[in-house]
């Protein structure tokens, strides 16, 4: 008998977990604080609270990079500690993990190894493509719908998936996300204002201004460092500067979506254009992004009230349905396609 069943959605900056026994979903920052390059201080939200505030000898690391595990040992330590942290994870449990489709077999295998070789002592690990988990989390009939287009807009990646009849027809993962927009804002403020801001400040500017709003004369006073005087100060940043900084990245997103649509078989493409596309992931919360994408693409763009939870909500529904479990794959099966 399994100890419990968990659904894991491992993002670049956040981990989301569905606990079947408690019937709850929780999330925590995918961050770890390391002192003097060897001592682990804290993980999760506690570690992220020190980001851009910690002394020089404490590094805040994100073990996931562009959708895949970049620091395996640190990621394993982080996950094991989050699993234990006031949540009483049980050994011998079953796990379903949402994974990117457009990555190498070695990178996919790392998700399996992460859980199997941890102190959690997993009884079974199954995987499902994140595009399918997103579709189910959005409330779509992925098994029978002839054409679905989902764009998962994450922190460092944009996963584009075309689904049909329970499978992935076309997919592509791009190294573009909210972090790309934030870096563009940092660069623009530095170049135009000779003022240096951090990533968290850039994130605040992005979330405050969004892409569209009724007031195009907005400004926000932020803290940073004057690059001329080299001293900390505050400066007023305009909405126009921030939106101009994001334009190039957003245009690239639109071109990539159009490119995937062109590669989609005609019948499926027709269904998608009639029904519209769906967006998920944390960046889908950005004010005005649906309107922007809809105008640029010329088709409807749909989302949900909490798009960042689409994948983990999909895992929840999969774990509650024997029929949906058929779209998952056992990584212990010797005939498993990614382990051959």
DSSP annotation string for 217-249: T-EEEEEEEETTT-SEEEEEEEHHHHHHHHHHH
Count of CB atoms within 10 A of residue 3's CB?
A: 16
| pLDDT for the residue 114 | 83
Mean pLDDT value across the chain? 90
Q: Is the pLDDT of residue 62 over 80?
A: yes
Residue whose pair of structure tokens reads 């791009």 in the numeric block: 174
> pLDDT band at residue 104, thresholds of 50, 70 and 90?
confident
pLDDT of residue 161: 96
The predicted model scores a pTM of 0.91
Band of residue 338 on the pLDDT scale cut at 50, 70, 90: very low
pLDDT at 119: 64
How large is the angle between the packed helices 239-263 and 266-275, nearest 10 degrees? 140
Q: Residue 43: which H helix or E strand, with range?
A: strand 39-43
Which of 71-75, 100-104, 127-131 has the weakest average pLDDT?
Answer: 100-104
Q: What is the mean pLDDT of residues 96-109?
A: 85
- The C-alpha atoms of residue 30 and residue 171 are separated, in whole angstroms, by 25
Tens digit of each residue's pLDDT (9 = 90 or more) over 206-235: 999 999 866 678 899 999 999 999 999 999
Is the per-residue pLDDT at 92 higher than 60? yes
- Whole-number percent of the chain with pLDDT over 70: 92
Lowest mean pLDDT among 108-112, 166-170, 250-254: 108-112
Residue pair 325/96 in contact by the 8 Å Cβ criterion: no
pLDDT tens, residue by residue, 6-16: 899 999 999 99
277-280 and 301-302 strand pairing: parallel
pLDDT value of residue 87: 56
122 φψ region: left (φ > 0), alpha (ψ -120 to 50), beta (else): beta
Domains annotated for the chain, with CATH where assigned, are 5-133+311-330 (3.30.420.40), 141-303 (3.30.420.40)
How many CA atoms are closer than 13 Å to the CA of 243, on its beta-carbon side? Answer: 19
């Amino acid at each position: 008998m399994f100890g419990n069943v968990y659904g894991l959605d491992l993002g670049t900056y956040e981990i989301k977990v569905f606990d079947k026994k408690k019937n709850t979903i929780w999330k925590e920052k995918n961050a770890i604080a390391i002192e003097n390059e060897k001592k682990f201080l804290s993980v999760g939200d506690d570690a992220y609270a020190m980001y851009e505030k910690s002394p020089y000898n404490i590094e805040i690391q994100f073990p996931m990079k562009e959708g895949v595990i970049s620091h395996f040992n640190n990621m394993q330590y982080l996950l094991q500690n989050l699993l234990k942290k006031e949540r009483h994870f049980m050994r011998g449990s079953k796990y379903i993990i949402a994974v990117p489709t457009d990555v190498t077999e070695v990178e996919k295998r790392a998700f399996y190894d992460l859980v199997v070789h941890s102190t959690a002592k997993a009884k079974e690990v199954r995987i499902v493509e994140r595009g399918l988990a997103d579709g189910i989390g959005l409330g779509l009939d992925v098994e029978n719908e002839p054409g679905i287009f989902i764009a998962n807009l994450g922190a460092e990646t944009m996963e584009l998936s075309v689904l049909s009849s329970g499978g992935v027809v076309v997919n592509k993962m791009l190294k573009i996300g909210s972090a790309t927009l934030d870096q563009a804002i940092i660069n623009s403020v530095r170049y135009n204002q000779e003022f240096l801001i951090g990533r968290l400040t850039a994130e605040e500017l992005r979330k405050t201004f969004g892409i569209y709003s009724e007031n195009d004369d907005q400004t926000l006073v932020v803290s940073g460092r004057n690059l001329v005087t080299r001293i900390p100060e505050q400066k007023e940043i305009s909405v126009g500067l921030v939106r101009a900084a994001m334009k190039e990245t957003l245009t690239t997103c639109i071109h990539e979506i159009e490119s995937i649509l062109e590669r989609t078989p005609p019948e499926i493409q027709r269904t998608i254009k009639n029904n519209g596309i769906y967006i998920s992931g944390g960046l889908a919360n950005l004010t005005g992004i649906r309107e922007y994408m809809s105008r640029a693409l010329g088709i409807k763009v749909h989302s949900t009230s909490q798009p960042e939870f689409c994948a983990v909500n999909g895992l929840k529904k999969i774990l509650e349905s024997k029929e949906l479990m058929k779209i998952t794959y056992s990584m212990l099966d010797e005939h498993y396609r990614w382990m051959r």
